[in-house]
Amino acid sequence: MRADVHPFIAAAPDDVEGLARALRDGCIAAADIVAIIGKTEGNGARNDFTRTMATHAFTRLLAGELASSERDVEQGVMLSFSGGSEGVITPHYLVCTKTGTESRSEPATGKRLALAQARTRAFDATETGTIVMVRETAAAVRRALGELHVSPDDVHLVHIKAALPSVVVGTASPPHCTMAYARAASALGVAVALGEVDGDALTDDAIGTRLDLYSRVANVSAKPGLCVSEILVFANSLHWDSPRRIHHAVMRDIIDIEPVRALLAGAGLSTCGQLAPDQTRRIRAIFAKSDADPTHVIRGYRHTMWTDEDFSDMRYSRCVVGGVLAALTGTTAIYVSTRAEHMGPSGGGPVAVIVDDE
């Protein structure tokens, strides 16, 4: 099996031309696509329609290519778009593919990028954001690990589009059926599956409150209306073939570049300062989570991201993390999404980077 990630710059939220050309040219086969993950240029909030626009455009393209229904595309391919390309962040999308059916015979140069999809069972509104969601998410992640034959240490990113089912009209909304709790429970599910957090000791009370319990590799967004959580596990495996590897780090706050420098060093990229252009070219994809520190303080000094009511803290924190990672790596194609409950420590967040072989 061979996994790959293909980055494309988007000229607009519904610009699918890059992928369309790659499909026409035979660089990518539509049937190999397991996920398309992208940043669009909306505000990332409720009135951000750019995510829907992108989803529709890619669904339509793939349905045409695969001669299948749009519904089948939605079932088979994870389409995950995050709004908000603040500051230097360039709107872009990452096409994740899996090719072939057999294991690699001889692992010449070690572990390589491997991908596995998983889906939870459907949740109802009362389960969402609770320990039930933690457990079901953990079970789904474990299934993906089993499929990949990798250990938890080999997992560097678990990207989740978390279920947030609609509440039945006329029914009171359960208190945990919110975007925040859906993200929190999903991230804890990843942490439990990977042994980062002890699942047996975990109770509902911890969800959204015990922020010292976290995953170092979860990257979760919640999608209103979705009943099943969609999961994509990124690992390195001896049994897969790929010209890429994935690495991860955890920032303790949104200007904490040292762990990211260590990540890059681990990938063979010299990072005393900014990567040189030939090194930047080896960066295939960057995933991060951001948050404006809820204490209103970073490095001892007050910040105003929460009190500035003309611009949301979410947009500010993405702008900062995007700028900081761009300054370090030399590329502005950075997938940063906000709200990182149980994903890295409070005020910080995980980073994953996919790097080409030399």
Contact indicator for 12, 85 with CB cutoff of 8 Å: no
CA angle 206, 152, 35 (to 5 degrees): 90
Residue number, 211 or 298, with CB nearest to a copy of itself: 298
Distance (Å, whole) CA 229 – CA 85 = 24
Closest CA to 185 of 212, 152, 214: 214
Which residue number, 50 or 120, has a Cβ lying nearer to a copy of itself?
50
Which among 161, 237, 290, 317 is annotated as catalytic? 161
Min dist. Cβ of residue 208 to a copy of itself (A): 17
- Residue 187 · residue 339 · CB < 8 Å: no
Half-sphere exposure of 289 (CA within 13 A, CB side): 32
Assign 149 to helix, strand or coil. Answer: coil
Return the number of the residue (179 or 187) whose C-beta is nearest a copy of itself: 179
Interface residues with a copy of itself (CB under 8 A) are 9, 11-14, 41-43, 45-50, 52-53, 56, 85-92, 254-258, 261, 271-274, 298-299, 301-305, 307-312, 315-317, 319-324, 326-328, 330-333
Helix axis angle, 179-193 relative to 131-148, nearest 10°? 40
- Reported in sequence order, the residue ranges of 14-57 that DSSP labels E, i.e. its strands, are 33-40
Closest CA to 233 of 183, 160, 290: 160
Q: What is the end-to-end Cα distance of the chain in Å, rounded? A: 21
Instruction: Look at the block and give the residue holding tokens 């459907």.
Output: 122
Identity of the residue, 47 or 109, whose beta carbon is nearer to a copy of itself in the bound complex: 47
Whether 290 sits among the annotated catalytic residues: the reply is no
Q: In this complex, which beta carbon is closest to a copy of itself, that of residue 146 or of residue 273?
A: 273
Q: Which residues on adjacent β-strands are paired with residue 317?
A: none
Token pair of 282 as six digits: 């080896």
* Shortest separation between residue 5's beta carbon and a copy of itself, angstroms: 17
Enter the DSSP assignment of 298. E
Query: Could you confirm whether 111 is annotated as catalytic?
Result: no
Shortest spacing between CB 138 and a copy of itself, in angstroms: 32
Nearer Cβ to a copy of itself (89/206): 89
Active site residues: 161, 221
